Structure 1
Amino acid sequence: MITVFTPTYNRGYIIKQLYDSLILQSYKDFEWLVIDDGSTDDTEELFKSFIAEQKLNIHYLKIENGGKHRAINKGVILAQGKYFFIVDSDDYLHNNALERIYFYTKQIEDDKTFAGVCGLKIYPNGRKVGGEANYKILDTDSISFREKYRVKGDMAEVFETDILKNYPFPEFENEKFISEGIVWSRIAHKYKLRYFNEPIYICDYLEDGLTRSIRKYHRNSPKGTMLFYNEMIRQKRNGLKKRLIAAVNYWRYTIKYKGERAGELAPIGWSYCCYPLGLLFYYMDIRKK
């Protein structure tokens, strides 16, 4: 069984398009696990109506607002599926998405070097997120996928639930954001994914989404941001350019942080040379704001 997992916050106005796309799935052995991250709109009432229709196997839980990463941690614990597929509340799926996921997971299910599979995200107009990529199937880890094969853009990752249980998202008190990339990179040290060049996931980056407000989320969660960029800097498999950009962003988003920078949050020695650029970008962000 596949767990389609959706963390949601105040998306009652649009989440029905995902619900409708799940009803139309050609592969039926899945659950829809939804963690409502403290919505104040009509999301709860909407899901009561979805559940009453009995068209899908829905598990809905409303929790106190704590951010997407906490919702994912909770979802991984509750998931009943062997595979865990995060689908955001403002996105939806091709009718055969879960069928294609099942097809590729069956190919690698006995190979313990794989953490899962990964398809394409596309815009509603059919264009691939990040631009086109020239491959049919790639068996590689997520770091090599970016650095060696130069593939850009968000992807539709599907991980084994039991593997995700071993890689929970770090949680810092009073912070509600940390990049998903921190966990995907940690998994990449040990496991690979089967990347298949087929569109399964349709997305559009809305004004109220994480992507459009990523700078604000980084600034408001400095500990998670420092940890994320420090791990990028230390990862020597990342190219020099990416590591330099990570060092600049370490300072860019946390330059106003007054707390202690110690242990895994402490700046990497050479990253101090990127402080001036971080300061410059910080002021540019403030000016744009």
Structure 2
Amino acid sequence: MKTLTVFTPTYNRAHTLPRTYESLLRQTCKDFEWLVIDDGSTDGTAGLVRGWIEENRIPIRYIYKENGGLYTGYNKAYEVIETELNVCIDSDDFMPDNAVELITGYWKEHGSDEYAGITGLDFTLDGKPIGGYFPGDLKVCHMMDLYIKKIHFGDTKQVMRTALMKEVSPMEGFPGEKNFNPFYMLALADDRQPSLILNENLCFVEYQTGGDSMSAGIFRQYLNSPRSFAKLRLMEMGLRRNTLRNLIRLNIHYNSSCIISKDRDWLKKSPKKFLTVMTRPLGWMLYKYIVHKSKKQHR
């Protein structure tokens, strides 16, 4: 069995998937398989991937499912992955030629059940680490500490231990809400165990617009999936690794999402009731701002 599964949730990205595929063909280490989760694409993705399967140049599994949003693709991936490690490479991103070699080699030398996985770097297409490199002496760290303690200021690439991800999945969403961030599961796993730090490029990132991209139309997503965002904030409030400043931010966002969804049990559900009450006015202000920005995005 291979060590690593590279999984790619995709929706109508037949125009970018070839770049992802070609980067996997160039890998200097072949200790991986590619899992493509098609979230109901209508642009010929199925035929494209099946053609690559027939080429038989790398191991590929293709799963088609009805459109349900990015998080449902993650759910399906964690359900079927069998390798020890997994990493999500989005359908508009691609791996440097030595990424699999770096991941599997580092894990075989340093990895164990004590760790959630490996945290590496995302790079822009012009070859720069997003947010810079990690501190040189940083060997092990919780993902949340990178952000909360301001150790790193950019995107990272999470290589996760599959057994742990199966423990924290699946995410249970809400009918009609597709914009539930898969960060939910990553944060739960990170709260249990730290990750090894690999100060290397594991993914080239190019952000796209349209489709179900979590970075596209964020204010519209707040309005379309308020219960999902509220559930995410509730989970984050309960994490062991937190600061007062972050809890205040989370409660403001939680309040705004509950206002959008008209949730009458907003206070009852909160694990931080004092902060939730104190930040209610700021939640209303954020709600008004979200509505305003969403209208501007549609102009």
TM over 0.5: same fold? yes
Shift of 1:232: 2.2
User: TM-score, length-normalised on structure 1?
Assistant: 0.92
Is contact 2:255–2:266 with CA below 8 Å preserved after alignment?
no
Aligned with 2:168: secondary structure? coil
Q: Which amino acid in 1 is paired with 2:99?
A: A
- Aligned counterpart, 2:209: 207
Shift of 1:182: 2.2
1:98 is aligned to 2:100:
yes
Shift of 1:15: 0.9
- Aligned counterpart, 2:297: none
- Aligned counterpart, 1:284: 289
- Aligned counterpart, 2:259: 255
Bigger mean CA offset, 254-263 vs 197-206? 254-263
- Aligned counterpart, 2:246: 242
Is contact 2:174–2:227 with CA below 8 Å preserved after alignment?
no
Alignment of 1:163-202 (within 5 A): 163-174=164-175, 175-202=177-204
Q: Closer, same or farther in 2 for the Cα pair 1:115/1:235, shift >3 Å?
A: closer
Q: Closer, same or farther in 2 for the Cα pair 1:288/1:133, shift >3 Å?
A: same
Is contact 1:227–1:264 with CA below 8 Å preserved after alignment?
no
Deviations 1:55-80 (A, max 9, x none): 12110011011112121111112113
- Aligned counterpart, 2:128: 127
The separation in 2 between residues aligned to 1:37 and 1:274, in whole angstroms, is 37
Which residue, 215, 220, 227 being the options, matches 2:224? Answer: 220
Q: Closer, same or farther in 2 for the Cα pair 1:264/1:196, shift >3 Å?
A: farther
- Aligned counterpart, 1:33: 35
Q: Closer, same or farther in 2 for the Cα pair 1:49/1:148, shift >3 Å?
A: same
- Aligned counterpart, 1:274: 279
Gaps of 5+ in 2: 295-299
Deviations 1:150-182 (A, max 9, x none): 212221111111111101042123122322332
Q: Which amino acid in 1 is paired with 2:236?
A: M
Is contact 1:136–1:197 with CA below 8 Å preserved after alignment?
no
Aligned with 1:288: secondary structure? helix
Bigger mean CA offset, 27-36 vs 271-280? 271-280
Aligned with 1:232: secondary structure? helix
Q: Which amino acid in 2 is paired with 1:170?
A: M
Is contact 2:191–2:239 with CA below 8 Å preserved after alignment?
no
The separation in 1 between residues aligned to 2:78 and 2:258, in whole angstroms, is 29
Q: Closer, same or farther in 2 for the Cα pair 1:88/1:231, shift >3 Å?
A: same
The separation in 1 between residues aligned to 2:240 and 2:247, in whole angstroms, is 8
The separation in 2 between residues aligned to 1:78 and 1:194, in whole angstroms, is 24
Aligned with 2:78: secondary structure? helix
Q: Closer, same or farther in 2 for the Cα pair 1:82/1:92, shift >3 Å?
A: same
User: TM-score, length-normalised on structure 2?
Assistant: 0.89
Gaps of 5+ in 1: none
The separation in 1 between residues aligned to 2:221 and 2:54, in whole angstroms, is 36
- Aligned counterpart, 1:78: 80
Aligned with 2:128: secondary structure? coil
Shift of 1:5: 0.4
The separation in 1 between residues aligned to 2:268 and 2:57, in whole angstroms, is 47
- Kindly report structure 1 stretches of 4+ aligned residues shifted beyond 6 Å: none
Q: Report how many aligned residue pairs link the two structures.
A: 288
- Aligned counterpart, 1:107: 109
Aligned with 2:261: secondary structure? coil
Shift of 1:119: 1.0
The alignment yields a C-alpha RMSD, in angstroms, of 2.0
